[in-house]
Amino acid sequence: MKSYTHYLTFNTRQRRERVRMTDEVQQAVAGGVREGPRLVSAMHIMAAIIVNDDKSGLPPTLPRGPKKLAPANPAYRHHRIGDASLHHEVTLPIAAGRLDLGPWQPVFYAEFDGQRRKPVIVKIIGE
């Protein structure tokens, strides 16, 4: 069994932003694992990793729920209510050394309190 750990860092231009990260996650597969699961996890409670359609013509918006939980308000304190209610991590399959996703399943980093550096871990185990 092999394992591989890779860290990515995101610093969004906007407070709420969605960043396509499929290519960066695919490059992390180059760690040598050909078959197995890959965990991708945002290392901050006000960020999430999502798999969602990215067809042209769709706006690059984020789900509305976190906006209600994490309003753009100087008095807001996220530590009082917890996280942004989206999953901070996803598990993705590796097959033949590549991400094994459907044709409309890109991976995104979703930021809800951005404009500063935040890490994402990619942890791969398998053969």
Q: Is residue 110 situated within a structural domain? A: yes
- Residue 42: which CATH number? 2.60.120.460
Q: For tokens 């069994």, what's the residue? A: 1
Q: Is residue 66 situated within a structural domain? A: no
Q: Is residue 45 situated within a structural domain? A: yes
Q: Is residue 8 situated within a structural domain? A: yes
Q: Is the pLDDT of residue 2 over 70?
A: yes
Q: Is residue 103 situated within a structural domain? A: yes
In this structure, which amino acid lies at residue 42? A
Is the torsion defined by CA of 8, 1, 101, 97 positive or negative?
Answer: positive
Q: Is residue 42 situated within a structural domain? A: yes
56: which 2 tokens? 């042209």
CA distance 27 to 6: 10
Q: Is the pLDDT of residue 26 over 70?
A: yes
Q: Is residue 36 situated within a structural domain? A: yes
Per-residue pLDDT band for 17 (boundaries 50, 70, 90) equals confident
79: which 2 tokens? 């530590």
Torsion of CA 10, 19, 101, 50, to 10 degrees: 90
Look at the chain and report how many structural domains it folds into: 1
Q: Which has the higher per-residue pLDDT, 16 or 79?
A: 16
Per-residue pLDDT band for 31 (boundaries 50, 70, 90) equals low
Kindly state the average pLDDT of the residues 38-58: 82
Q: Is residue 106 situated within a structural domain? A: yes
3-state secondary structure 43-103: CCCCEEEEECCCCCCCCCCCCCHHHHHCCCCCCCCHHHCCCCCCCCEEEEEEECCEECCCC
Domain with 35, as residue range(s), is 2-54+82-126
